Each structure stands twice: as structure tokens, then as C-alpha cells.
Structure 1
Amino acid sequence: MTLVTDPTAPRIAIIGATGAVGSTLIELIEERDLRYRELYLVASSRSAGRRIPVGGQTHEVRSLEDFDFGLVDIAFFSAGTSVSRAWVPAAVAKGALVIDNTRAYRMDPDTPLVVPQINYAVLDRPPGSGVIANPNCSTIPLVRVLQPVERRWGIRQVVVSTYQAASGQGHQGIEELLEGTEVALRDPDADLPSERFSPPLAFNVVPFVDELQDSGFTLEEQKMVQESRKILGLPDLDVTATCVRVPVVNSHSEAVWVQTQEPVDRAELVGLLSRQTEVTVHDAENRAAFPTPLKAGHPDHVHVGRVRVSPHDPRGFWLWLVSDNLRVGAALNAVQIAEYALARGFLSGGVR
């Protein structure tokens, strides 16, 4: 992270700075040398006063309730949907460009929903709402592989099952999984903690992520459908999902079945996916190679394996995806959005 005095560099605020995604945002801004002239770490009143070292300096966490958004040019929101709904309008009213990592504005017609590698063109102009929405952590890796397939062969249907890690529920989700695992190892009959995950996640698989909808699908499953259609610009895309929580600390996985309009050649499919930015195909040469959440590889890549074209109908194939949900599925995408926006001069010189 690069602190500069250049008046064209942005003033940045991270709302939810002490959470799992907020902490990852800090790491990535530092790793990617994003220039800034002011940095404000903002969280709830419970976290206010904490001191966090960033770029060789110590920053005191400020209370959201008392924070003046007129001090910043870019505000990253990663503190939950209710917080974004309550505070994003205040940030926009003060002139900040908001990059929101919740579902609060994703389906707003005036708010672009952006995966820079896919629909960067929507960043050619500032958003009418003052907000750029960051997609769901499972949607991002999915659309990253679907777009080149759609362009080459056309897509008839997508069926996806997710295997989502505890970190999707933040630091508390990770802690609950680890605590439950420890308790269960000591006493298999003990009641396990279930505040973040119900039923308990330790030694379990829970096919239920987020709230149940009237359709019988969960909100997480609904988000994957709606967001994929919006990002890809395919309002009638036939996609359906089953979202499952698994006892993994970090990194989501997905099993994806794609039916295409035209027959698919495996070698061509592997080559096409391998050429995508920040995508690693593990079984290009060795079909027994595949990524796992424990050791996928580069944390900023979408990892692909188990590439299988159906022997019965070459217009269908399977993919296995793994990606770091805190980075690829959240913070990295948000930082890359900021990089694109800054490159296009959204902030018109920084000083206002």
C-alpha cells in the first residue's frame, strides 16, 4: 500500500475494516500498491479505537456512526447488507464513489454489477447511483468461466452445486467451525455451537445457505441466478444452483454442468479457459490433477479441474472450480473495480 501526497491520489475508507473481507481488502491494497493520500479504517462502535498497522503506519479504527464521508473519494463497504442500506446513501450524498460488497444494490438497475475481467466496459462511465456493486462470492468464479464458453459455443443451461467455506460467515464463522470441531473431537455427543451455522457445521454438510425463499430455493441460490444473468448480459440464461456449506475454513468450490448450443472439444475448452486472465486449469496435461480448497495454488486465481466433456453428448461438460472466497470472491474483485475506476478518471483529479 502506497501513501502519497499526490493530490490526484484517492482518499479511501474501508467500512467493516476489522471483518474478514475488510482485513483482506487492507492486505490487497497493500500488496497491489494502490496509491492513496488518506486511509480511514471504519467499523462499528464496538471496534472503534482499535489500532491496526497499515503500510508502516498505525491507523485507529473510527466509528461508522461518527464518520464524515466527505473526507473520502472511495468507500469500500464490507460490513453487511443492513449497514450498506443504512449508510451507503450518506456516503454517496457526500460525493464518495461506493464499492459495495453486499447484496444491497446488486440488482438496482442504476448500479453496475461488475466483474472487471468480464464486463469492464460498464466502468467506462461513473455509475448513475454512485455505487458499483461487487457480486456474490460464488457468482464471481462462475461467470469468469462461463463468458468465454458462451462466446464460443453458446450456453443452453448451467447447473451448479457450491461447496462453501465457513469464512463466508466471516471471522465468527471460522471461529465457530474450529470451536465445534474441537468440541466434537472431545465428545462426539456434545451439543455443538450453531450461532452462525444451523445445523452445526463441524463434521457436517449443510445444503442451506442464506434465507429460504417462497420458491423453495435459498437466497444464495437466487443470487447466483440473478447476478450471473446481469453480469453476463444474458437475462434469459437458464441457470440453477444448489448452495451447500461445508466444514472448510476458506475457499469455495463449485461443481458446474454446462450444456452448450454446439459440440465442445475438450482440448479446445481447456485451451480457452487457460487463456483467461487469472484462471489456472490444473488438468490441462494430467487429467488426474485437480485443485482443492486446501492447496489450490495462487490465491488470486480461479482454479479449474475435472474438465470432462460428456461421452454421450459433446454439447455438455463438467468443471470443478475452486477460488479463495475472501480474495477472488470479494476483496480482490472490489480492489480491481477501484483500479479500473481510477484508470478511467472517475474521481477527476482526487481533490474536490
Structure 2
Amino acid sequence: MPRPRSKENKGLPTRWRRRSGAYYYQVPRGLEHMWDGKKEFRLGASLPEAYRVWAERLGKMEETRTVAELLDRYSLQVVPTKKPTTRAQNQVAIKRLRNVLGVVPITAIKPQLIYQYVERREAKVAARREIEILSHAFTKAVEWGILDRHPFKGEVRLPGEKSRTRYIADWEIDECLALEPKRKKGSVLALQAYIKIKLQTGMARSDLLRLQPERDFDDDGIHILRHKTADSSGKRTIYEWTNELREAVAEAVRARPVRTSKWLFCTLEGEGYIDEETGRAGGFDSMWRGFMDRVLAETKVTERFTEHDLRAKVSSDAESIEHARALLSHTTTQTTQRSYRRKAEKVKPLRRGRSE
């Protein structure tokens, strides 16, 4: 887990640090060219001086003429406000955009150029996501007064990413839960408890792996503030206790490799799985892959499924779209219907009377 900010660094802008009597800016990877090639740039000895140097650097970015310069400013002012995983994905996309379109003047970007960019990329899904980043950068360019209008918003129609359709059958879940554990704690037992809780609540992985019993469990149920939307909608959900949910949670507690850990699901060291700096859960992902390898090798299940497919099963099995929305802690039913309802819709044929 990342260390909390020291007292002297609290209140400073993102990536600022004070040490050895001076203020420093930790330069994001890939942006060293904007800060004299340094990974850590000295802003000044005093706070006023640091802010003055900072303002001068930002001022230079207002002279935006090329796509590369626009993306540099976007990387500095917009990307740091996003979630860790999104930040990392954005930086990868920005690097690819800079390599191809960096020297192009922002006034020369036209819809035809966007189509050509996607057409020439073999990885179409990645290309579409890169264009989404570029589009948002141009939206910010209008907001910053660099341009009067967005050069291709509403004029480019790219085919959307195909939704995943894998639906996990009940018998496949039974096979997973019947897998014989090789250890008395952790691994298989922990994932079997995880699956049970997931299938009852539909909770997102980022929320389920952040559960702390003493903090999140109350007499009326499990309380969560949806991590993904904590800074936007602030969606809160209480999953009411049932005997089945209590038993699944008890199994998770018994399966913990470290009994005194504050986390419901923890590593061998008793730490949480989520790396708050990156937003990733590498240890959990590795454990899940190993679990699925055993499932495919030792059970009747023949098709791999992801942890995320469990969430889609919850949505698909819910009695109504509204119940599915509530379980998944979505603010509207549109997202639930578009990406998570995977069962075929059953309809009754229209009954027509005989014509005379």
C-alpha cells in the first residue's frame, strides 16, 4: 500500500514534494522533455517562488500550436485528475498519438485525418480509444480558449467496440465451487468465497477488494461508496444481510491467510490487493488466472471466463433491469442494459385472431 503524504506535503498540488528545503515537481513519465529532461524538477526554495516557476511553465503551454503541444498540456492538467488506471491508459494512448500526429498543427486536424488514423492502425479498438482521448483534448482546447470550435466532434462516426457476450451458466459456477483446495487458507478457498459474495451482490472488483469489515460492515448490511464514481456521482449502496451473504462473508474471513488483516480479502502479508498508486490488483489477477487454469484442467468447464463476467451474470440473472442496476450500483439503467445484461430476451409471440 502507498505511504500517506507527510505533513509538510499535505495541501500541495499533485506530484509536488518538499524536501531538503525546496519544492520539487515529480515529472510524469514521458513528459521529461517539457521539464528540461528531468524526472524531478526543482521549482524553488519558497512556496511563492515555486508557484511562480510553475505558472511560467504553464504559461508556455498556452502557446499551443501542434497536436503534441496540446497533448502535453492535456497530460499535465487533465490526466492527473483521473483514476490511476485511467491515467496509465491515457499516457499510453497519448504517446501513440504524439508519435503519429504530434507535428500536425491543431488547425489542420480534420475528420478525414481521424478516419485515416484509425484505418491505418491494425489495433482498431486501441485506435478508437486513442481518438477518444484526442477528442477530449480538443474539447479542453475550446475550454482553454485555444480554439473556437472542436474540429471533428459530431462529424466522425467510428464503429463501437463489440460488447462481451460470455454468460456463465449455473452449472459452471457449481464446478468452480466444487474445486478441491490444496491449502487450508487463501487461494482457492478465498476465491470461492469471493465468487459467492460477488454473485449475491454484483459488487465491482475495485469495491469488493477494498472491503474492510470493521469499517464497511454494519447491522443493516455492507456499506460501500462506489470507488469508480466516488468523485462524480458519489453513489452509495447498502447490501442488506441475508443468511447466505453472512455465510459467504464468514467463509472469506476464514480463508484469509492473515487472521488479523483489516481487509476481507488480503495477500499473504495481510495487505490489500489494490495498489492505490496504479489502481491495479496484480496479485489478485495472478491468483484468478491460476484458479481458472485449474478449473479448466480439473472440471467440466471448457471456456474461460473473467472475474468481470461474474458481475454480468448477476445483472443477467436479476429479475428486472432496475434490480440489476441497483445491485451493480449504477446510477442509470442504460449502462446496465448495454454492457451487463447478457441473457437472450424472452418474448411471447403476438396472438392474432382468425380473420373472417
TM-score, length of structure 2 as denominator length: 0.22
Select the structure that is richer in strand. Answer: 1
Select the structure that is richer in helix. Answer: 2
TM-score, length of structure 1 as denominator length: 0.22
Higher relative contact order (CA 8 A, sep 6+): 1
Higher Cα radius of gyration: 2
